Amino acid sequence: MPSLYLAPEVRRLALASQGWRGLVAVLALALGVALGYGVHRVHSAAVAETEGAARRLAGQADLVVRAVDGGMDEALYPRLATRPEVAAASPALELEAKVPAKADDRRRERLRILGLDIFRASELQPILAALPEPTDVLRPDRLFLNPAAMAWLGVRPGDRVTVQAGVREVALQVAGTVDLPGRPLAVMDIAGAQAAFGSLGRLSRIDLRLREGVGQDQAARDLASLLPVGARIELPTARARQAAEFTRAYRVNLDMLALVALFTGGLLVFSSQALAVVRRRRQLALLRTLGLTRRELVVLLLGEAAVLGVVGGILGVVLGQGLANLLLATTGADLGGAYFRGLNAHAALHLPAAAAFLGLGTLAAVLGSLAPVLEVAKASPARALRAGDEEELFARHRSPWPGLALVALGGAAAALPAVARLPFFGYAAIVLFLLAAITLLPWVAARLLDLADRLPLNGFAPAHLALAQLRAAAGQVSLALAPLVASVAVAAAMAIMVGSFRHSLEDWLDRLLSADIYLRTGTIGDSAFLPADAQARLAALAGVARIEFRRSLNLSLDPERPPVALLARRVDPRAAERTLPLVGDGRQPDPGRIPVWISEAMQDTYGWQPGQVVELPLGNRPLPVQVAGVWRDYVRSGGSIVINRDDYAAASGDAAANEAAVWVGPGAAESRVAGEMTGLFPAGLVVAEFPGDLKRLSLAIFDRTFAATYALEAAAVAVGLAGLSASFAALVLARRREFGVLRHIGMDRRQVAAMLACQGGLLAGVALAVGLVLGGVLSLVLVHVVNRQSFHWSMDILVPWGPLALFAGSVAGLAVLTAAVSGRLAMRREAALAVREDW
């Protein structure tokens, strides 16, 4: 009988009594949905943009032959192009060019340059066929920029762009645009690129289109046998997938954080519904007495929750879309992780995603109210009609066992490994621990309030009364506290995780940055490097006590994964821990073996273990090396391998360097030496940095990375506090009569305020006590499970007591304030008069 639910009397009973606690629940759900949907939209826009760019670049290629370490012999190109199964072959030289004019840009952005044979490329990439004049395309010094590059460099066709090649400057002229989406990118002639960037004879990639009827897999297998060690065949989608893969952990983690906000919203619905149901027990019992069946009652109340969920969900999607548009318009697709920097993405309303998040919001609301609704439906109407035993409802929840069972489950989930390289069980553990805490909350709250009762409070009447009232309503209090506990726990967990991370990072930086000056020209995969003669000139400068040149490059070990970084530098195999922050003990390499030290990510994703002998695709044949230790690398979550530069140079023949660490001699001023070093080269090509600046910069980047996290945390705590304040106001309103009696008995405003403040403080105390303990547990899960499985790095737990105390103090203060504000309602004259409104 659906008309029953629509009858004004029933509807009124259902919704009107929600009051503004219902409104807060709706807002909380909306916030959760908005964050979830907004973050999701921003990220999917970014990924779509990245993947779209990769896909459009790949064009109609069926297979891609790619250089493993950034360069392969171009002789491979005619060999592949003349294969019977190959219809078209397009060679390319890809490089990340440093733009000295942007050297001050601390984002360290690079211009990706694609050197192409336009005739070959246009057979595979229709976009390139549309390049305006073949004339300019062929000139070795002409660049075609995509819109992102135009915007970033602030140039127009006809302008010149200077990029760095080695330690030289190369001036290129912007000849036009190329309609490719994504990051800043430029297309130029392959001959010009090879000559300008010292890559004569080298190719990064050969895109292949197969003849009709030739199977992709078969061709891939056949062609793979032709390839030298330094080249590998992959599907054109591999790069796009790699890009998505590279950012996946980061995206999923941010999504999860947004979902925590939604979870808190769901908890708020739970708390609001549970309290509303408790309050309305008698009305609901009356309905049951009048003939409403149990099922009808459940449908009525769940429908009510669903309405809250849908309203909150719609509001959330609208807010989330606005948030996504705002973020994309202001900060771009980069939410702090720097993965999507410089990307020009747009997020349109995406109906399936909107529907999914609307559904999640509704589900959170319905699930949130399920427990209290079933509870009230089960209750005997006759008993419920009797006044005053609300707390009896909670008697059952005083048992700690269900909560402890959830704790055990959570612990088990935390011990499980990653699924699809994502810490799903880690998140499951977090949810289980949260649920456990909420289940245990009535029991814990009762114990804590008992404990508080032993304090010598009796002399202070308001405190005494406050405590008595809370103790008597521990069950309801727990419900009111659940959202706050959850959000405090999440915030504390994040704070501990971020604090530990930051501390570990600082330590790590101190360990790594042992030199006095760091000279840098380009980073991995860059167009800029220090050739041998430049190295000699640097080493010969006065004041240099020691100079160590380092080379870093990308090594693609697995087509399905992002490339790993190979860092060639000086490491003493007998005392590797002196130069590298090793995890565990190093291991002496077997005699005659070339030692390498791998990052934790290598251990996690490639399964390499100390002592293992592995092969690196360096030069023209595989180089067997032995893992001599595992080190902590906070920079390259895709994995990194450290090798002695001598070993690297011997194997690859590459004597160039990207970086130099300089120790100055006694009496030499660092700044003077640095100035002389950079002065050897045209301005901006070689940058000297000091460890202090590097450390500051790294930490600033770190802080920016976590800015989005802080925002989400703050949102979760705000939701929790809003819930607490709503619940508290409801408690106060429901007890108007009691306040009236107290006023009659002679409590003055200050005493009532003090009492309410005490209650606020006590509630906050309980929420903080439980939330902080829970947060500690969750932080362990975050550090040891979620972070480790997502980013593959370990860290030392460091509890940031100061900030946590500040945070706890703020929450307590806000709770007290909330209570005081709610108290104003109770202290109105009408409240005192309420005593006389007998019913």
Partner 1 sequence: MPAAPSPLILRDLAKSYGQRIVLGRIGLELEAGEYVAIMGESGVGKSTLLNLIAGLDRPDAGTIQVDGADLGHLDDDGLARLRRRSLGFVFQAFHLLPYLSVAQNIALPLVLNGHPRPAIDERVDELLAAVGLLRRRDDSPRQLSGGETQRVAIARALAHRPRLLLADEPTGNLDAATGAGVLGLLRESVKEAGAAGILVTHSRAAAETTDRIFHLTGDALIPL
Partner 2 sequence: MGRLLAAVLLALLSCLAGAVDYPPVAAGRPLAFPRDFGSHPDFRNEWWYVTGWAKDREGRDYGFQVTFFRHRPGVAEDNASAFAPRQLLFAHVALTDAAGGRLHHDQRAARAGFGLAEAKVGDTGAWIGDWRLERQGETYRARIAARDFALELDFSPTQGPMLQGEGGYSRKGPLPRQASYYYSLPHLAVSGAVAVDGQRRPVSGTAWLDHEWSSEGLAPGAVGWDWVGINLKNGGALMAFRLRDRSGATLWTAGSWRDPHGEVRVFAPGEVAFTPRRRWRSTASGAEYPVAMAVRVPGLALDLEPLVDDQEVDGRRSTRAIYWEGAVRAFRDGQEAGVGYLELTGYWQPLKL
| Residues making contact with partner 2 (CB under 8 A) | 74, 77-78, 81-82, 91, 117, 119-120, 129, 133-135, 138-140, 189-192, 194-195, 200-201
Tell me, what amino acid is at 408? A
Exactly one of 174, 319, 673, 832 binds partner 1 (CB under 8 A); that residue is 832
Is there binding between residue 382 and partner 1 (CB under 8 A)?
A: no
CB of 343 to partner 2, least distance (A): 30
Q: Which is nearer to partner 1, 12 or 750 (CB)?
A: 750
Q: Which stretch binds partner 1 (CB under 8 A): 1-9, 485-493, 748-756, 777-785?
A: 748-756
Strand partners, 89: 208
End-to-end CA distance of the chain: 32
Phi, psi of 614 (to 5 degrees): -125, 165
Phi/psi zone of residue 624: left (φ > 0), alpha (ψ -120 to 50 degrees), beta?
beta
CB of 763 to partner 1, least distance (A): 15
Q: In whole angstroms, what separates CA 451 from the centre of its chain?
A: 40
Phi, psi of 115 (to 5 degrees): -90, 120
Q: Which is nearer to partner 1, 56 or 464 (CB)?
A: 464
Spatial contact of 173 and 143, defined as CB atoms under 8 Å apart: yes
Q: Which does 458 bind (CB under 5 to 8 A by kind): partner 2, partner 1, none?
A: partner 1
CB of 455 to partner 1, least distance (A): 15
- DSSP-derived 3-state class of residue 641: strand
CA–CA distance, 96 with 60 (Å, rounded to integer): 24
Strand 640-644, strand 564-569: pairing: parallel
CB of 376 to partner 1, least distance (A): 20
Phi, psi of 795 (to 5 degrees): -150, 160
Q: Which does 139 bind (CB under 5 to 8 A by kind): partner 2, partner 1, none?
A: partner 2
Q: Where would I find the beta strands (DSSP E) of 166-309? A: 168-177, 185-189, 202-203, 205-210, 231-234
CB of 731 to partner 1, least distance (A): 12
Spatial contact of 584 and 630, defined as CB atoms under 8 Å apart: yes
CB of 208 to partner 2, least distance (A): 13
CA–CA distance, 150 with 155 (Å, rounded to integer): 5
CA–CA distance, 215 with 211 (Å, rounded to integer): 9
Q: Which does 134 bind (CB under 5 to 8 A by kind): partner 1, partner 2, none?
A: partner 2
Q: Which is nearer to partner 2, 138 or 155 (CB)?
A: 138
User: Of 277, 284, 302, 301, which Cα lies nearest the Cα of 381?
Assistant: 284
CB of 403 to partner 1, least distance (A): 25
Is there binding between residue 749 and partner 1 (CB under 8 A)?
A: yes
- Kind and range of the H or E run holding 443: helix 424-453
Burial pattern 100-130, b for ≥16 Cβ within 10 A else e, equals bebeeeeeebbbbbbbbbbebbbbbbebbee
Q: Which stretch binds partner 1 (CB under 8 A): 311-319, 354-362, 464-472, 590-598?
A: 464-472
Q: Which does 82 bind (CB under 5 to 8 A by kind): partner 1, partner 2, none?
A: partner 2
Q: Which two tokens stand for residue 682?
A: 């045209």
Q: Which does 765 bind (CB under 5 to 8 A by kind): partner 1, partner 2, none?
A: none
CB of 120 to partner 2, least distance (A): 7
What torsion do the CA atoms of 257, 259, 261, 267 make, to the nearest 10 degrees? -140
Q: In whole angstroms, what separates CA 427 from the centre of its chain?
A: 13
Exactly one of 367, 741, 769, 820 binds partner 1 (CB under 8 A); that residue is 741
Q: Which is nearer to partner 1, 111 or 449 (CB)?
A: 449
CA–CA distance, 433 with 446 (Å, rounded to integer): 19
Q: Which does 472 bind (CB under 5 to 8 A by kind): partner 1, partner 2, none?
A: partner 1
Q: Which does 829 bind (CB under 5 to 8 A by kind): partner 2, partner 1, none?
A: partner 1
Q: Which two tokens stand for residue 812?
A: 């307590």
Is there binding between residue 455 and partner 1 (CB under 8 A)?
A: no
Q: Which is nearer to partner 1, 464 or 695 (CB)?
A: 464
Strand partners, 111: 97
Each residue 274-313 as x (binds partner 1 by CB under 8 A) or -, in order, gives: ----------------------------------------
Is there binding between residue 469 and partner 1 (CB under 8 A)?
A: yes
Exactly one of 453, 751, 798, 817 binds partner 1 (CB under 8 A); that residue is 751
Exactly one of 447, 471, 570, 593 binds partner 1 (CB under 8 A); that residue is 471
CA–CA distance, 479 with 445 (Å, rounded to integer): 10
Phi/psi zone of residue 166: left (φ > 0), alpha (ψ -120 to 50 degrees), beta?
left
Q: Which does 120 bind (CB under 5 to 8 A by kind): partner 1, partner 2, none?
A: partner 2
Q: Which does 126 bind (CB under 5 to 8 A by kind): partner 1, partner 2, none?
A: none
Exactly one of 218, 399, 458, 810 binds partner 1 (CB under 8 A); that residue is 458
Angle, nearest 10°, between helix axes 424-453 and 474-512?
Answer: 120
Count of residues that interact with partner 1, criterion CB under 8 A? 32
CB of 226 to partner 2, least distance (A): 15
Q: Which does 133 bind (CB under 5 to 8 A by kind): partner 1, partner 2, none?
A: partner 2
CA–CA distance, 266 with 361 (Å, rounded to integer): 8
Q: Which does 2 bind (CB under 5 to 8 A by kind): partner 2, partner 1, none?
A: none
Q: Which is nearer to partner 1, 405 or 833 (CB)?
A: 833
Q: Which is nearer to partner 1, 469 or 652 (CB)?
A: 469
Q: What are the Cα distances from residue 719, in Å, to 51, 261, 692, 716, 776?
A: 35, 8, 39, 5, 20
Is there binding between residue 744 and partner 1 (CB under 8 A)?
A: yes
Q: Which is nearer to partner 2, 25 or 118 (CB)?
A: 118
User: Of 392, 289, 346, 80, which Cα lies nearest the Cα of 205?
Assistant: 80
CA–CA distance, 26 with 763 (Å, rounded to integer): 23
Q: What are the Cα distances from residue 470, in Å, to 440, 710, 824?
A: 17, 32, 19
Q: Which stretch binds partner 1 (CB under 8 A): 613-621, 648-656, 692-700, 733-741?
A: 733-741
Q: Which is nearer to partner 1, 174 or 466 (CB)?
A: 466
Q: Which is nearer to partner 2, 138 or 697 (CB)?
A: 138
CB of 205 to partner 2, least distance (A): 14
CA–CA distance, 344 with 335 (Å, rounded to integer): 13
Q: Which does 737 bind (CB under 5 to 8 A by kind): partner 1, partner 2, none?
A: partner 1
Residue that is written with structure tokens 């959170």 in the block: 364
Residues that bind partner 1 (CB under 8 A): 388-389, 458-459, 461, 464-465, 468-469, 471-473, 737-738, 740-751, 829, 832-833, 835-836, 838
